[in-house]
Amino acid sequence: MSSHAPTALIADDEEPMRDMLKKRLHDCWPELHIVAEAANGIEAIALAGQHRPDIVFLDIRMPGLSGIEAARMLFNRCHIVFVTAYDQYAIEAFEQGALDYLLKPVGGERLKTTCARLKERVGRAPDDIAQQLGRLLAQGTQPATAPRAYLHWIQAQVGNSLRMISTREILFFRADEKYTRVQTAQGEVLIRKTLKELADELDPDEFWRIHRSTLVRVDAIAEVTRDLRGRQLVRVKQSGEELEVSRGNTHLFQQM
């Protein structure tokens, strides 16, 4: 462990969550230096090897490797703190052992308690948590009743800036050659994520795929009409645009 200012790595597949944790940690523990951020478990392991942080904050649900799988490869090199959205699961899985955890949204007394524990531990060898990690993996990295985590933010490159767009702002997605058009009330941006990827990652109760090239947010639908050719057309609020419903998806509007 380093004898200098304590260092940490944050791993979470949602950038806004990483930003929030970074800010709350700065408020609670200003001396802690965040040396790297990872968007998945595989990246977390690589960056931990590169930067050798004292502490790694791991989201439980991440693509590639889960936080618990990543922890099995890191626990003997650094202190591990899990970040989870599932309160009951966290209590049952972690409080009986040496593992630290934070609940989303991160903050409050729990964060202060965790930071106080970490301040005592930094500078000495991490606890041997191999057995507990093995039990957690055997149980599965989340409870069977846990809701699936859907995409809530879209990243779009706008000039030299990276823009974060909440899915609540998005009216519809439309495939546009090599890109996907993201339409909001304020305008449109293009992203490289395919419509198929978006359909798999978005909440199906929030977004409907009405055509092979179109995903529309359900509560952005103003009305559904038929044209003279018998095609169903969706008119979108705050846009005025009409989107065609393919024959294979007319079941979404069965009452018409």
Tell me the pLDDT of the chain averaged across its residues. 84
Check if the beta carbon of residue 75 is closer than 8 Å to that of residue 97.
Answer: no
pLDDT band for position 64 (cuts 50, 70, 90): confident
Check if the beta carbon of residue 229 is closer than 8 Å to that of residue 237.
Answer: no
Q: How many CB atoms lie within 10 A of CB 253?
A: 15
Distance CA 247, CA 60 (A): 40
Distance CA 108, CA 105 (A): 9
16 three-class SS: helix
pLDDT band for position 21 (cuts 50, 70, 90): very high
First to last CA, the chain: 66
Would the pLDDT of 143 be above 60?
Answer: no
pLDDT band for position 115 (cuts 50, 70, 90): very high
Task: Work out the burial of residue 246: count CB atoms within 10 Å of its CB; fewer than 13 is exposed, 13-18 middle, 19 or more buried.
Answer: middle
- Whose CA is closest to 69, among 151, 114, 17, 80? 80
Would the pLDDT of 188 be above 50?
Answer: yes
Distance CA 94, CA 101 (A): 7
- Whose CA is closest to 146, among 204, 88, 206? 88
Query: What is the predicted pLDDT for the residue at 142?
Result: 47
pTM exceeds 0.85 for this model: no
What number is the average pLDDT over the span 173-192? Answer: 91
Would the pLDDT of 3 be above 60?
Answer: no
Distance CA 226, CA 232 (A): 5
